[in-house]
Structure 1
């Protein structure tokens, strides 16, 4: 898409989310559904940055409801958000960029062809 509205980051994104948006949108042509997914990933990046900033002066271990030691709740939330971000970015299936910053579509096509071939062999037991 070459629409100038798409090139500007969506409202509400913070520093890290805008940085991710600006690194992806100029390099790739994304469908509308991919833009929605990218925006979601950008919001996740911003949330991860907030969670990590909140943990700066916090202990890694805190007291639980019965006085037992347990990990700080922000640690597990950060871990979950990072896992979500990994899934979101993987779902975009962005091809690698070459040295000039041009997407290598051939790499993704070959990878998908290989996966399809193995799935077909597995289905038919060949």
Structure 2
């Protein structure tokens, strides 16, 4: 089995982004295009954390320029970032992992052209 060095966590990543990066890159050998998708997922997770912190002590509605009560803009954006994150992670088609005694990983449903199996960095 190939024991390559795990790429470092991207600079500027927050706690959730670092956790996501390490949880995936520690066990799986991604291609460079998949690493770029993971990088965007890390950024989305960190943006979601920042928006949640900002919204923690903010009202859920604000008054717009016409005087109408509307949803706080960060609520709308956090919903969009959540959808983005879900799509990015789904596009990586991450395996469910190995159960004790198994040698093949469960893979999510395959759609379109099949991609080769991920190479494991290590099995615990």
Higher relative contact order (CA 8 A, sep 6+): 2
- TM-score (normalised: structure 1): 0.77
RMSD: 2.2
The alpha-carbon deviation at position 99 of structure 1 amounts to 3.8
- TM-score (normalised: structure 2): 0.79
Q: Does 1:82 align with 2:99?
A: no
Equivalence for 1:48: 48
> Cα distance 1:78–1:103, how it changes in 2: closer, same or farther (>3 A)?
farther
SS of 2:29's equivalent?
A: coil
Q: How many residues align?
A: 110
Equivalence for 2:107: 108
Unmatched segments (≥5 aa) in structure 2: 113-124
8 A Cα contact 2:6 2:25, kept in partner: no
The alpha-carbon deviation at position 3 of structure 1 amounts to 3.8
Q: How far apart, in 2, do the equivalents of 1:26 and 1:68 lie?
A: 49
The alpha-carbon deviation at position 86 of structure 1 amounts to 0.4
Unmatched segments (≥5 aa) in structure 1: 117-126
Equivalence for 1:35: 35
Q: How far apart, in 2, do the equivalents of 1:64 and 1:58 lie?
A: 15
Equivalence for 1:22: 22
